């Protein structure tokens, strides 16, 4: 079997797919409040194109797929797509990153279709603040989504919180306390200055060191999955864990095992690079597609340059996070 390896001997086993750039929310660090220029349906990869591309990646050793966006649950037919991907030989894990707003409605169907787990973004436990950062979304819907995901077994649930200075740094303790009785991983993500929202983000960055300074009882947990960007901690006796994802203050590039497919069919080898390679034009020729992927993968950069002040032009909702 052919293996997907880059020039730095990193084996690529994980593909993240942005299935839409549309979203039913407007997080201030991700989307401009006035909205975005919507892509027409034919600019977005069809399900057939996505499954063709996934099946070639699977043949090359990719085992894990994450569906993201924009908001993946606003893509019509998302449950069918999960089912189609779960039927592809070699794919043994399918996960989804969501804002949770529609999860109550879809959790059961997604589980039945073969989804394994969900990551749910939640930046505040206060309904007013949540509404403020998302420009009007409802925290109640997110909690209902989390409950439903738990009920149907889309577990372990990971909660993602982007740390924002003078916004949610006073909630760190409350967020960590969610791990006392719940088997959640709560993961703090450092804010990135990226795309059209760079101006909003640039003065609101807070290092994840803040979490360790505030919560002295956190003890490091031995990392089982070296490719995970999160370093994990736990308060002894608590059920869940606390993850710190530090794209700015510390690199995790040495063990990177992932690439990204944008909603219009471009392959991104690194989240923090503007370089993209069009795969859509080969989506119906699997032999050519395989050849191209093996060629393109050699261009994967050794590491990103975010900590050197580089600003990425593309928006997070276009890349998928
Ligand atoms: N809509 C889904 C959601 O919000 O979970 C999936 C797409 S969203 C782009 C994926 C992740 O990227 C979310 O956890 C979000 O918080 C994170 N994200 C978006 N913009 C970010 C930024 N500027 N810095 C750090 N994380 C960001
Ligand atoms: Fe939408 Fe997710 Fe971006 Fe928020 S972070 S605007 S929910 S894509």
Q: Is residue 281 part of a domain?
A: yes
Q: Is residue 1 part of a domain?
A: no
Cβ 23 under 6 angstroms from ligand 2: yes
Taking the complete model, does pTM exceed 0.75, yes or no? yes
Is residue 74 within 6 Å of ligand 2 at its C-beta?
Answer: no
For residue 304, is it within any domain? Answer: yes
In the chain, the percentage of residues whose pLDDT exceeds 70 is 96
Is the pLDDT reported for residue 175 higher than 60? Answer: yes
Q: 211 or 316: which carries more pLDDT confidence? A: 211
H-assigned helices in the chain: 47-59, 78-86, 103-113, 127-133, 139-152, 172-177, 198-201, 209-214, 286-296, 316-319
25 pLDDT more than 90:
yes
**pLDDT value at residue 318:** 75
From edge to edge, which strands make up the β-sheet containing 277-278? 219-220, 230-234, 241-245, 185-190, 158-163, 117-121, 93-98, 64-68, 14-18, 258-261, 266-268, 277-278
Long-range contacts of 271-277 (CB under 8 A, 24+ apart): 271/247, 271/304, 271/312, 271/319, 271/321, 272/192, 272/247, 272/304, 272/305, 272/306, 272/310, 272/312, 273/301, 273/304, 273/312, 274/312, 274/313, 274/314, 275/299, 275/301
pLDDT given for residue 129 in this prediction: 98
Model pLDDT, residue 68 = 97
* pLDDT for residue 41: 82
Q: What does the pLDDT average to over 154-181?
A: 97
List Cβ neighbours of 250 (8 Å cut-off, separation of 6 or more).
none
Q: What pLDDT is recorded for position 271? A: 82
Q: Is residue 8 part of a domain?
A: no
Taking the C-alpha atoms of residue 296 and residue 293, their distance in angstroms, rounded to an integer, is: 5
As a whole number, mean pLDDT of residues 200-223 equals 93
Ligand 1 atom closest to 120 (CA) = 5
Tell me whether residue 3 is in a domain.
Answer: no
**29-38, 119-128, 305-314: lowest mean pLDDT where?**
305-314
pLDDT at 250 over 60: no
Question: Ligand 1 centre from 69 Cα, in Å?
Answer: 9
pLDDT of the residue at 317: 80
Residue 77, domain member (yes or no): yes
75 within domain boundaries: yes
The CA-atom distances, in angstroms, between 162 and each of 13, 187, 227, 279, 314 are 26, 8, 20, 31, 18
How many separate domains does the chain show?
Answer: 1
Provide the pLDDT for residue 27: 95
Indicate if the pLDDT at residue 307 is higher than 70. Answer: no
* CATH code (residue 26): 3.20.20.70
Question: Which ligand 2 atom minimizes the distance to the CA of 69?
Answer: 8
Assess whether pLDDT exceeds 90 at residue 149.
yes
Tell whether the model's pLDDT for residue 232 goes beyond 60. yes
pLDDT at 315 over 90: no
pLDDT digits (tens, 9 = 90+) for 97-109: 999 999 999 999 9
CA dist., res. 28 & res. 126, Å (int): 16
Q: Is residue 193 part of a domain?
A: yes
Q: Nearest ligand, CA of residue 72?
A: 1
Predicted pLDDT at 306: 59
Q: How far is the CA of 74 from the centre of ligand 2 (A)?
A: 12
For the packed helices 139-152 and 103-113, what is the interaxial angle rounded to 10 degrees?
Answer: 30
Residues 6+ apart with CB under 8 A from 111: 152, 153, 154
Owning domain of residue 110: 14-319
Q: Which ligand is nearest to the CA of 123?
A: 1
pLDDT at 118 over 70: yes
**Pocket mutation for ligand 2, best pick of 30, 262, 319 (most atoms within 8 Å of C-beta):** 30
pLDDT tens for 252-281 read 788 899 999 999 999 999 887 788 999 999
Q: Is the pLDDT of residue 249 over 60?
A: no
């Amino acid at each position: 079997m052919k293996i997907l390896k880059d020039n730095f001997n990193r084996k690529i086993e994980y593909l993240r797919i942005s299935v839409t750039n549309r979203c039913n929310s407007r997080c201030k660090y991700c989307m401009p409040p006035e909205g975005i220029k919507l892509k027409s349906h034919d600019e977005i990869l069809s399900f057939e194109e996505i499954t063709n591309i996934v099946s070639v990646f699977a043949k090359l050793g990719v085992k894990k797929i994450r569906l993201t966006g924009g908001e993946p649950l606003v893509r019509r037919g998302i449950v069918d797509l999960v089912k189609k991907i779960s039927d592809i030989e070699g794919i043994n894990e399918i996960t989804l990153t969501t804002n949770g707003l529609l999860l109550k409605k879809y959790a059961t169907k997604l589980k039945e279709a073969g989804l394994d787990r969900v990551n749910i973004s939640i930046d505040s436990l206060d309904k007013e603040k949540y509404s403020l950062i998302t420009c009007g979304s409802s925290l109640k819907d997110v909690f209902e989504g989390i409950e439903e995901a738990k009920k149907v077994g889309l577990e372990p649930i990971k909660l993602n919180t982007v740390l924002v200075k003078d916004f949610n740094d006073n909630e760190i303790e409350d967020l960590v306390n969610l791990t006392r009785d719940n088997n959640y991983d709560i993961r703090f993500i450092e804010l990135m200055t990226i795309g059209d929202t760079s101006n909003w983000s640039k003065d609101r960055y807070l290092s994840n060191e803040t979490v360790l300074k505030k919560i002295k009882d956190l003890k490091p947990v031995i990392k089982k999955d070296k490719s995970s960007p999160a370093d994990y901690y736990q308060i002894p006796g608590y059920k869940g864990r606390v993850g710190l994802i530090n794209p700015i203050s510390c690199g995790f590039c040495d063990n990177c095992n992932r690439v990204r497919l944008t909603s219009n069919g471009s392959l991104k080898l690194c989240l923090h690079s503007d370089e993209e390679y069009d795969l859509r034009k080969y989506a119906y020729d699997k032999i050519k597609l395989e050849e191209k992927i093996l060629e393109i993968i050699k261009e994967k950069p050794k590491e990103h340059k975010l900590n050197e002040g580089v600003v990425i032009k593309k928006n997070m909702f276009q890349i998928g996070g």
